[in-house]
Amino acid sequence: MSSAKEVQTKGLILDASLLEGGGQGNYIVSCLLNKPIKLLNVRAKREAPGLKPQHACGIKLMQNIFQADLQGDNIGSQEIYFKPNKVNTSSTFIADTQTAGSITLLIQISLPALLFSTLPPKTNLFIPPRSKKVILKGGTTVISSPPIDFIIEVFKPIVEREFGLNFNVSIIGRGYYPQGKGEVILQVDPIVERALKPLNLVERGTIVKVKGRVTICNTSKQIGKQMVACASKVLTEASLPELEGIQFDIETNIERINAGKGSEILLWAETNTGCIISGNATINKRESPEEVGRNAAEALIRNLKHGGCVDEHLQDQLIIFMALAEGRSKLVTGPVTLHTRTAIYFVEVMSGAKFHVKKFNSSESLLVNMQDEREFNSPDLNGSLYLIECEGIGLKISKEG
């Protein structure tokens, strides 16, 4: 059975159960290229299949921005039909998960769309670019999703410099599981009459500094001290030559504008070529503050050891921008995650961008689809560097439409 096919009346039908499943990037490309889509088997392989609150909230946000026809947006839905119409000329939007659902996921969905939200599809009416704002409510740090500080300290400086875009993220209040109730404002400057620049992250360089932030909300300062102490100890004792002689600057951030309580730690290393590589962890009921500090430090060390230019979180978040950019983008990374493979597969199907993945300094190409399990489960995966290249579509909004 084909994973994707054209249907004259319904647009593109996709099996969202392939690879990791999901489909957030599909709505982005659907809107930007004016392609109706129907997704089947959404999150079918997950323990709780179908849409979760943050996914439903993200789809409804895209519906609002592009005034789309939408069916199947209820919680638990595994079949969705989405047809973009014209851009909403409003300058402010609101997305509320009503839970501790991931705000960073909402940023991943809305940022690319807002960058190109100056021209309504099917018209020649040019709307002068003006800043677009989205008020996002939910969880600022949740399990299995990068925290909001990652977006600010790692993601933002890389994508702004590499792709030539501009946006701002303001934290109004933090939200943790299970209460949520965090609030973040995303402000985006749309681009017009030019495409995104191609990515070129191929030289890791040497580490020049390691920074970090422990955030504690409505809980003991001692918890923050314990996380800092343990993280610093693990980094100091790491058998990693790159960290020798490096000072670790880990600040403690105390916040009280929050309905619940929580604590988290983000560590990041900056290199002389502009790479930023991170590791993070958050407090939960099963782990002590010391264990959380250790987990964050070990995640950073793991992301540094492979020698790539990005960490496991940033890797898959760059895929949609590489596809939209003009020219050939290049990214040297460590192990290619399932998140990344999934993003590549679906964005290729939706956009026509062409990706190539190969072991670094090798001519052997690896196809990134559901038939590549042997390639990506090879024994030397953790010891290899990979080069991800993309011929982007060079999406550009012009005054002529």
DSSP 3-state helix, strand, coil percentages of the chain (rounded to 5)? Answer: 30, 25, 45
User: Is residue 197 domain-shared with residue 211, that is, in the same domain?
Assistant: no
**Residue 64 neighbours by CB under 8 Å, 6+ apart:** 88, 93
| Average pLDDT, rounded, for the chain | 87
What sign does the dihedral 224-168-92-57 (CA atoms) show? negative
Which is more confidently placed, 289 or 372?
289
Output the CA torsion 54→56→58→61 (10° steps): -130
User: Is residue 265 domain-shared with residue 124, that is, in the same domain?
Assistant: no
Q: Which two tokens stand for residue 101?
A: 């659902």
Q: Which residues are catalytic?
A: 339
Query: What whole-number distance in Å separates Cα of residue 205 and Cα of residue 164?
Result: 22
Q: What pLDDT is stored for residue 47 in this prediction?
A: 80
Assigned domain for 87 exists: yes
pLDDT tens for each residue of 237-284: 998 999 998 989 999 998 876 656 889 999 999 999 999 999 999 988
Tell me the CATH number at 80: 3.65.10.20
Omega of the bond leading into 178 within 30 degrees of 0 (cis)? yes
Query: What whole-number distance in Å separates Cα of residue 151 and Cα of residue 68?
Result: 27
Name the binding residues for ATP.
108, 313-317
User: Is residue 12 domain-shared with residue 44, that is, in the same domain?
Assistant: yes
How many domains is the chain built from?
2
Tell me the CATH number at 269: 3.30.360.20
Q: Are strands 4-7 and 11-15 parallel, antiparallel or unpaired?
A: antiparallel
Q: What pLDDT is stored for residue 2 in this prediction?
A: 36
Whether 375 has a pLDDT exceeding 60, the answer reads no
Assigned domain for 394 exists: no
pLDDT tens for each residue of 201-237: 999 999 999 999 999 998 889 999 999 999 999 999 9
pLDDT tens for each residue of 113-149: 999 886 544 555 555 567 899 999 999 998 878 999 9
Query: What whole-number distance in Å separates Cα of residue 235 and Cα of residue 250?
Result: 12
Q: What pLDDT is stored for residue 370 in this prediction?
A: 39
Which is more confidently placed, 107 or 258?
107
Domain ranges, residue 255: 207-305
Whether 369 has a pLDDT exceeding 50, the answer reads no
